[in-house]
């Protein structure tokens, strides 16, 4: 690698290149030229006239582009270089921006940034340890403990079941206080009015109306009919976040 290229490497990366990079790396890069017809044509032109291609120079049997070592169209060689500066201890599985800046300051090949981005997207370590880019949703708040049975209940549907006597859905109602559960069968398609009728026939007649109902964001529970019905009865409706009913 040229002295100009080495002078642009940060000290930690320089330690990596001088201690762990194979001594035959530049020989491998030169071999990649043999499989790239475009690079071969550029080299031949430069050997005839050093000014034949702007920004390219032929020095010490290596092709440089604006001081960067050109790598031929060799996917294995390119992946090796990315791995060397990304997967290593010094690279530390850095972001696409950092990895691109280091590699892009030393080497050049067509489509380099796109290649690095794809490599990092498929990096198992990066994907398992990447952080969320969205703002924190805050802590999940536990439901208060009710003071008596069937004051606070939750409702949900269990779907995708095999049909039994024409029914393939179970509506589950759980009392927060005793964990007592009612399971009511119904079938698709069901409506908000149909679910409300089942609720009145199976829950209201046994326990009266609760003070609050917690459920997920099923279309039945989000419907105007369902909200208006329980609003008139003075029942508070609460909606849980996904998978936290």
Cα–Cα distance, 230 to 245 (Å, whole number): 19
Q: How confident is the model at residue 6 (pLDDT cuts 50, 70, 90)?
A: very low
Tell me which H or E stretch contains 79: helix 75-86
Assigned token pair, 99: 């990895």
Residue pLDDT, tens place only, 187-219:
988 999 999 999 999 999 999 999 999 988 888
What are the C-alpha distances in Å from 57 to residues 42, 45, 46, 188? 9, 10, 7, 72
List, in order, residues 6 or more apart from 151 with CB less than 8 Å away. 176, 177, 210, 211, 212
Percent of the chain beyond pLDDT 90?
31
Which of left, alpha, beta for 43 (phi over 0: left; psi -120 to 50: alpha)? alpha
Q: Using one digit for the tens of pLDDT, what is the confidence trace for 90-114? A: 678 888 888 888 888 889 998 999 9
The three-state (H, E, C) secondary structure of 121-137, written as one string: HCCHHHHHHCCCCCCCC
Mean pLDDT of 108-129: 87
Residues whose CB falls within 8 Å of the CB of residue 137, separated by 6 or more in sequence, listed in order: 241
pLDDT in tens, 134-179: 776 667 777 778 889 999 999 999 988 888 888 999 999 999 999 9
């Amino acid at each position: 690698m040229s002295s100009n290229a080495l002078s642009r490497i940060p000290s930690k990366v320089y330690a990596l290149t001088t201690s762990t990079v194979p001594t035959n790396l530049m020989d491998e890069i030169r071999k990649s030229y043999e499989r790239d017809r475009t690079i071969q044509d550029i080299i031949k032109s430069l050997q005839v006239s050093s000014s034949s291609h702007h920004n390219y120079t032929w020095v010490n049997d290596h092709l440089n582009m604006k001081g960067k070592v050109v790598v031929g169209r060799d996917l294995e060689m390119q992946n090796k270089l990315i791995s060397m500066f990304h997967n290593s201890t010094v690279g530390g599985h850095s972001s696409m921006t950092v990895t691109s800046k280091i590699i892009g300051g030393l080497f050049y090949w067509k489509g380099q940034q796109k290649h690095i981005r794809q490599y990092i997207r498929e990096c198992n370590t990066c994907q398992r340890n990447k952080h969320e880019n969205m703002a924190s949703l805050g802590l999940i708040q536990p439901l208060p403990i009710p003071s008596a049975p069937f004051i606070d209940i939750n409702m949900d549907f269990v779907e995708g079941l095999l049909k039994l006597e024409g029914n393939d859905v179970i509506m589950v109602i759980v009392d927060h206080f005793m964990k007592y559960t009612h399971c009511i069968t119904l079938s698709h398609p069901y409506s908000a009015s149909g679910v409300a009728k089942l609720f009145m026939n199976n829950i209201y007649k046994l326990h009266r109306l609760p003070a609050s109902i917690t459920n997920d964001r099923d279309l039945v529970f989000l419907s105007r009919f369902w909200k208006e019905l329980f609003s008139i009865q003075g029942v508070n409706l609460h909606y849980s976040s996904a998978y936290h009913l």
